[in-house]
Structure 1
Amino acid sequence: MKIKLNQIFSNNADEEFTQWNYLTAGTLGVPLNTAKGIEFFKKALDRTPLIVFHTNHYKEDQEQTPWRDLIFQSAGRVIYNGDNKSSNFAAHEARGNRKVLELINLYSSKSKIDRLKAPPIIITKTVKLKGRTGYRQFIGVGLINQSPKLVQQYEKKTNQVFSNYQFEVTLISLTPEEEFDWKWIDDRRNSTLDDISSLKHAPTNWKLWVEKGNEIISQIRLNIKSYRIIDEQEQKNMPIQNKKIINDLLNVYYPDPSKDGIRFEALASFITELYFENSTYSRGWITAGSSDRGVDFVGRLDIGHDAFSSNSLIVLGQSKRYKSPISGERLTRVASRMTRGYIGVVVTLDTFTRKAQEEIKDDQLPIILINGKKASELLLNYINRTGKTLQEIVEIEDEWSKTNIRTTHYSSIIDEI
């Protein structure tokens, strides 16, 4: 059976959707267990056929699911937390973690023989349809090309600290097939087929990785270029933990738009830094109110690797601590500053209207829109990675704001830092 990205499967009988058990049973007739977050088939010829990382955001914040998984499908990146959820066990003792750690060296091996055995990692997530969560969506297939991180958290019942592994998965592009052929998995389960023969129905980009290794990761990574307009309801549709971040920022930490303006500008500057995490980005300063020229904070994005070939872009930021959607009119101030060598970033805790998005895209303005959903994802990722609380982040940014307010023209950042 061939499946597509974002295809939905049912956990139970449903006339509209294929059952997940039917898909995973394949030609061998034995399906995967849907009750486990990390699942895998038994080995065939000393190769594990696949590993499934399944995430259910509807269980987040519960005792059995204290970790927050993050899916950045369009960027080909998934941050997935392992299956240790108790202080009674070490992180490496959990069944799923143990399996991944057993195989993880295959993904970084320079040997094609090892890479042939490396199991594809399939990412799925629970989705709600017809008022029920008995459905899962196929997000993609990928591999681990970075060392796992050991993260810690307090156990809710006992307040004891326990550890878990955090795995980063790189999703691969399914072009040119545009489909995932489950026969590949059936072949990997077939003990009569050797490793090379079991590769026949693999995606083209997986075959390239097996042949050349991690040096071609950037070429085969999933990268969905989307120019579609995202409606406001979709922007508001986020997991409970994201909503709590937004509510706490609006009502607890920055309740007064006037008094808390400078403080929130500092947080918006920090969120922008998180957005450019994998780039050479430098935070600049917050602009003083009387001389901000429509810009709330300044940064610099450096491109290139040496003094001869590098270049820099000035980042002009606006922060919108709003409880209502941002219209196109509210983006005009930062848009008016856009010229060669500048890009804009607008950070809000709410949404952007359809009209605002259309104006930015139609005018081809280099402005990045970070809505509340994206801002909460960036903060949750940082919280997950560092163990800091939202309150600690706010306090750190409050201190940063006290010493980083300037009246200097933002073009001067090119010669600083």
Structure 2
Amino acid sequence: MSQPRPVPMLEIMRYGKAASRIDVDLDGYLNYHFMTSAPATPDAPRLMLEAGINSAAVVHTPDGPRRPVISLRSSPWKAGQVTNPWHDEFDLDHGHVRYFGDHKPTTVGLPGATAGNRALLDAWALHAATDQQGRLKAPPLLLYRSVTVVRDGRSLVKGHVEFCGAGIIERLEHVVQRDPVTGRSFPNIALDIAIVDLADAGDTLDMRWIDDRRNPDLNDERAARHAPASWRHWIKGGRAAIPRVRRRVLASRVRSTEDQLPPPGSAEATVLSRLYTFFDGRKHAFELLAAQACAQILGGSGARYHAGWLTRPGGDGGIDFVGRLDVGTVENNTPLVVLGQAKCIAPTSSIGPDQVARVVARLRRGWIGVFVTTGTFSRQAQVEVIDDQYPLVLVGGRTLVEQVVKMAAADHDGDLDALLASVTAGYDVAITYRRPDEILLG
């Protein structure tokens, strides 16, 4: 039996199209082709990452045809370009990836017309199978993210990938996207992928699993002998097992100042600076932007968010906007009042515990709070929220910028100035003189 070839989560590997399959290291990094090539079959086709969606060839086994694996590559540096007008989202600490298919504005036909999307649609049928035999055949999705590295004093945006784990298709939906160049809409598919937990193997994936799945002599059950324990639990339990096998990183919920702000010198840092400069003289208007960012954050949690109104300036009592979050199904749900506070402060400034306490004091049973700022939250403010288990969501500068960029891309073709103009124009009409609990009546 071959020796284990574990790939650690978040390992950066050197990817060269025609690189050696024998050398373990390449240019100081783990060699991708060594890790993905079975020693016993050195002449087998390589598992390439030339496209976004890379399907291994189907093998014919004692249990019938089996696709060994589908490798997904995301290139953040290409996002928004003609060749990649969509933005994949990676939240590996919580085991979730949102990945868009490879249908492009110029593609003729429905979203299954491309080879990549067709492979994902076929895989979805197996990932959603209601029986173990179907799930045994389901090809694992191995995810990689292109990264920029510095070598010999040069920044290299190509040729290196970060391993982001193995995933199960949790949900597949047909979506309509817009080409950022022409403004034309086009159909595509979007996947919600659950990244499986690898803790039992030291947060590594044994590539012998993929070797076995490519071996035509092994039946489906035998080919799963080196699969992660979490994957085998999913095969047995199906969809209901996904919450138990999803990757979770136990980290301190207290975030450093650096973690709450975009990296210095980055495009996101420039956006944050522009937001502060723009709203510094019109801080009341910032409340509407904060309310819209809140709607995106809470609405993206799976619950239904209903935007409410802004409170009148000077008489808000520590509350700037009101919304409602409906948790549950359409027929069976409970509405929660959302109270929001917005503070446009210098990105180098922080919100202290006294300001947070002012918002918390307004919350009633069954209400939640959201605090949005262009700055950060002090360590003590975060500690008090965590220790006292306050139902308060803290949104710092970095998260705010992420939401603003999404809003600009979705509604204004990426034009930040157009988004800001829309916010200021809508501010006055968004103000309402109503009690927060009236949101429950609408």
Which structure 1 residue ranges, 5 or more long, are not aligned? none
Which structure 2 residue ranges, 5 or more long, are not aligned? 17-24
1:164 aligns with 2:188: yes
Assess if the C-alpha contact under 8 Å between 1:82 and 1:165 holds in 2.
Answer: yes
1:217 aligns with 2:236: no
| TM-fit CA distance, 1:193 | 0.5
SS in 2 for 1:80: strand
Q: 1:41 aligns with which of 56, 61, 73?
A: 56
Q: 2:262 aligns with which of 233, 236, 258?
A: 236
Aligned match of 2:310: 286
SS in 2 for 1:276: helix
Correspondences of 1:198-347 after superposition (within 5 Å):
198-234=223-259, 235-237=261-263, 246=272, 249=275, 255-259=278-282, 261-277=283-299, 278-302=302-326, 313-329=336-352, 330-337=355-362, 341-347=366-372
Pair 355,82 (structure 1): closer, same or farther in 2 beyond 3 Å: same
1:188 aligns with 2:192: no
1:20 aligns with 2:32: yes
Cα distance in 2 for residues equivalent to 1:287 and 1:60: 37
Assess if the C-alpha contact under 8 Å between 2:105 and 2:179 holds in 1.
Answer: no
SS in 2 for 1:150: strand
TM-score, normalized by length of structure 1? 0.83
Pair 4,383 (structure 1): closer, same or farther in 2 beyond 3 Å: farther
Amino acid of the structure 2 residue aligned with 1:21: H
- Per-residue CA distance 1:72-129 (angstroms, 9 max, x = gap): 2233221112223351544433331222123321122223222111111122212223
Assess if the C-alpha contact under 8 Å between 1:155 and 1:162 holds in 2.
Answer: no
Q: 1:57 aligns with which of 54, 59, 76?
A: 76
TM-score, normalized by length of structure 2? 0.79
Cα distance in 2 for residues equivalent to 1:99 and 1:161: 23
Cα RMSD (Å) of the superposition? Answer: 3.5
Assess if the C-alpha contact under 8 Å between 2:351 and 2:375 holds in 1.
Answer: no
Compare 68-77 and 194-203 and name the one that shifted more: 68-77
Q: 1:371 aligns with which of 392, 396, 406?
A: 396
- Per-residue CA distance 1:171-198 (angstroms, 9 max, x = gap): 2223444432211111111111001111
Pair 52,387 (structure 1): closer, same or farther in 2 beyond 3 Å: farther
SS in 1 for 2:342: strand
Q: 1:136 aligns with which of 146, 161, 165?
A: 161
Assess if the C-alpha contact under 8 Å between 1:263 and 1:397 holds in 2.
Answer: yes
Pair 22,387 (structure 1): closer, same or farther in 2 beyond 3 Å: farther
State the structure with bigger RCO (CA 8 A, min sep 6), 1 or 2.
1
- Percent identity over paired residues: 27
SS in 1 for 2:29: coil
